[in-house]
Amino acid sequence: MLIVIPDVLTADELDEVRRLIQAADRVDGRVTAGELAAQAKHNLQLPQDAPAAREAGEIILKALGRNALFHSAALPFRVLPPMFNRYDVGMKFDAHVDGAVRAVPGSGIRMRADVSSTLFLSDTQDYDGGELVIEHNYGTSAIKLPAGSLVVYPAGSLHRVNEITRGSRWGAFFWTQSMLKDDGLRTLLYDLDMAIIEVRQQLGHDTHGTLALTSVYHNLLRRGAEL
């Protein structure tokens, strides 16, 4: 499942996140990559424990908390604090798959990475290249979104970031442990949720049928959820 979520951040939130991360020191992005990914990764990154990264990450987490579409798509149980990267001219991230298990900084907790998310922070006219290219069951998608918009996709997908040929691309990225580790079941529940919402909007009210479908949704989630 690949879902684009527009306008996750408000204009004020986007400005504040940009202000925080652009003023912070950056390190080689390979410091947070595994052995294989480090060979493919060529970018800059804010240290995970940098105050600016923590503050900007809190803004993003609060925005996700109010975003119904993110919750429907990811069914989050635990969300790793966002990290921030920058790609300048000549930088890229070759094809790779994200690690299956991530450590939550400072907590001693390890979490399963079911869902990957990239939040675009640079305006599209400010850079060329830099598309997030994701391979999935229906082919390949090249994603380049307006600043403040998010793409959500299975963490097991093969993906890459194309080389930057002009300007710089800032982004935030993070992983979610879903209540449902099976992407196929997550996709079915997302489709069901979207269908229920559409029917409710068309009718303008609930019916016995929409209530019955809502019951089916929650009972399926109840059977599959791992908490």
The reply to whether 199 and 140 lie within a common domain is no
Residue 64 and residue 173 in one domain: yes
For residues 61 and 80, what is the distance between their CA atoms, to the nearest angstrom? 9
State whether 100 and 207 are in the same domain.
no
CATH number at residue 91: 2.60.120.620
Question: Which helix or strand (DSSP H or E) is residue 210 part of?
Answer: helix 208-224
Shared domain for 28 and 88, answered yes or no, is yes
Together in a domain, 189 and 82: no
CA pair distance 60, 76, nearest whole angstrom = 14
Residues 188 and 161 in one domain: no
3-state secondary structure of 7: coil
Separation CA 113–CA 105 (nearest Å): 14
Q: Is 193 in the same domain as 100?
A: no
152 and 192 part of one domain: no
Q: What is the pTM of this model?
A: 0.93
Q: What is the CATH number of the domain that holds 206?
A: 4.10.860
Dist CA 18 CA 126 (whole Å) = 14
Per-residue pLDDT in tens (0 to 9) along the chain, 227 residues: 899 999 999 999 999 999 999 999 999 887 666 565 667 889 999 999 999 999 999 999 999 999 999 999 999 999 999 999 999 999 999 999 999 999 998 888 999 999 999 999 999 999 999 999 999 988 999 999 999 999 999 999 999 999 999 999 999 999 999 999 999 999 999 999 999 999 999 999 999 999 999 999 999 999 999 98
Please, are residues 54 and 38 in contact by the beta-carbon 8 Å criterion? no
In which domain, by residue range, is 151 found? 3-178
